[in-house]
Structure formats: C-alpha cells, structure tokens
Amino acid sequence: MFNTVTIIGVGEIGGSLGKDIKKRRLAKTVIGIGRRRSSLRKAKRVGAVDGTYRVNSMKRGVKDADLIILATPVGTIVELGRLAAAYAKKGAIITDVGSTKKSIVEGLEKALPGHVCFVGAHPMAGSEKGGPESATADLFKGRDCFLTKTKRTDPAALKEVQRFWKRLGARTILVSLKEHDRIVAHISQMVHLVASGLVIAAGDALPYAASGFRDTTRIALSDPGLWKDICATNDTCITEALDRLIAVLKSFRNAISKKQSSRIGSMLAKARGLRRELCRHC
C-alpha cells in the first residue's frame, strides 16, 4: 500500500500499528520517531519498526514517508504534526490516532502547508498499560476506528486512510468532529472518570474491593498526564456528559433515599433494556 510509513510515537498504539503494518506488508519500510531512545530501542526490538529517529531528527524520519501517523499523547499531536508536515514530501498523507478530535483536527488544518493532506482518526483500542512493550499486532482487528470529515478533508486522502484501517481489520465510522467528541465523551472518557471517581470516593472501603470493583476501576491505572490532556482538549463535551451522568446518579440517589422501590426498579430495568441492545456483540 505504501513505500514508507512513519509513525511518530511508538507507545502501545504506535507500536501496535508498526507491528500490524509489517505483519500485513502494508509498507516496505516502517520508521519510528520518538522522544526517548529507550522507547525507540524497545520498539525496534519488539519488531514494530525497521528504523528509528529521535524527534530532533524529524526531517530525516519523515522526508520519504507516504503516510505519517501521529501516535503521541493528545497534548503533543498538533505541535508534532506541524513539525512533521514542514519536512514531509509533496502529497504525503498525515493522520493521527488521538482520542479527541476537534482541537487536534482544527489545530492541524489551520497550521498545515498545502502540499500535505490531513485526516483525523481515532481507533477504539488500547489498554491502561501503554508503552511499546504492550504493542500487539491485531490490536485493531474487529475494533471501531472513527475517521473525521471536515470541509477541508481531501476525499482521496480520506479514502486512503479508510482503506488503511480496513486492511488492519477495523470497522471505520465516518463522523464530524463534534459527533466524535460527544460520542467518546460518553463511551470512553466517562468510563475513565467514573473509574477514578469510584476509587477516590471509596475511602477506607477500598481495601475490601472485590473483582467487580477492580475490573471497573482498572482503567484508573492509566497515565494521568495522557488523560489530563484528553480531558482538557474535550472539555465541552465531557462537561456535558458529566452533567448528564450526575443528573442520573442524583435521581438514583433521591429514589433510594426515599425508598421508592418501584422507581429504583424501573430505572434499573431501563438501563438493562438499553444495555441488552448492545449485546448483539457481547
């Protein structure tokens, strides 16, 4: 599919992409760019990339790339994307894997030179662990990958990026920036904030936590720096989603404190009904 793919950021997602591209022979050469020498070494050792460059050698790392994938933490994507674009060859496609889209896509569309195309992407995959040592081929198989379309999105580049994710086994979902950020606030960022919230609120009951609590709160082990940026760049949608969740929890609270057994039952039954509709795939 490509001669050279350059992946900027060789953590769990970037590393998995490299492994997957090599496994499926989607590129002749996979280059990894990173900040830390140790991560780049690990990424090469686990077979995620063929060659590596540090961020301060950006030019040498991106100049031959047909596809440049920004796979660094959300807070650094716009800056690194601008840097990469400056050295990218004419017609190169730049894409990303960031968990929030409005701030990243608008930030890059404003800044990028005309000789490259940018397509925003967000695969719904990854664990709380992170790092190239967690990289696995097939991480994206059967997963959803959001692709964003704006007025400035180049149709041919979008098609190419879509083809790329499909080759990795992902289902692609085309959305607007707003739609994306609203959806992931509910289905991803709420799960994370609630996990952290449960842990903090549990106080001295925490040591008694059983497997259910442990499973639900495992995601609270994720890197706070990464998630802080995700929250900060999707502030409007997360605030709205939190307000809705707090309102639902308050109505549970009021029904329970008033011992309104049948109201509690019908709220729980409503939730079960909605959750069952998701069960086709679970």
Applying the rule CB under 8 A, the residues between 115 and 154 that interact with a copy of itself are 124-125, 143-144
User: Using the rule CB under 8 A, which residue among 23, 28, 60, 271 binds a copy of itself?
Assistant: 271
d(Cα 147, Cα 49) in Å, to the nearest integer? 24
What is the size of the binding site for a copy of itself (CB under 8 A)? 86
Site for a copy of itself in 159-188 (CB under 8 A): 173, 182-183, 185-188
User: Where does the chain show beta strands of DSSP type E?
Assistant: 2-8, 27-34, 51-54, 67-70, 93-96, 117-119, 121-123, 144-148, 171-175
Q: How far is the CB of 98 from a copy of itself (least distance, A)?
A: 16
Query: Does residue 110 interact with a copy of itself by CB under 8 A?
Result: no
Residue 10: how many CA atoms within 13 Å on its side-chain side?
A: 32
Site for a copy of itself in 231-260 (CB under 8 A): 231-232, 235, 238-239, 241-250, 252-253, 256-257, 259
d(Cα 172, Cα 282) in Å, to the nearest integer? 19
Residue 111 CA to chain centroid, in angstroms? 22
For a copy of itself, the closer of residues 66 and 181 by Cβ is 181
For a copy of itself, the closer of residues 61 and 98 by Cβ is 98
For a copy of itself, the closer of residues 156 and 187 by Cβ is 187
Which region holds residue 131: left if phi is over 0, alpha if psi is between -120 and 50, else beta?
left
Question: What backbone torsions phi and psi does residue 147 show, to the nearest 5 degrees?
Answer: -125, 135
For a copy of itself, the closer of residues 133 and 223 by Cβ is 223
Query: Does residue 193 interact with a copy of itself by CB under 8 A?
Result: yes
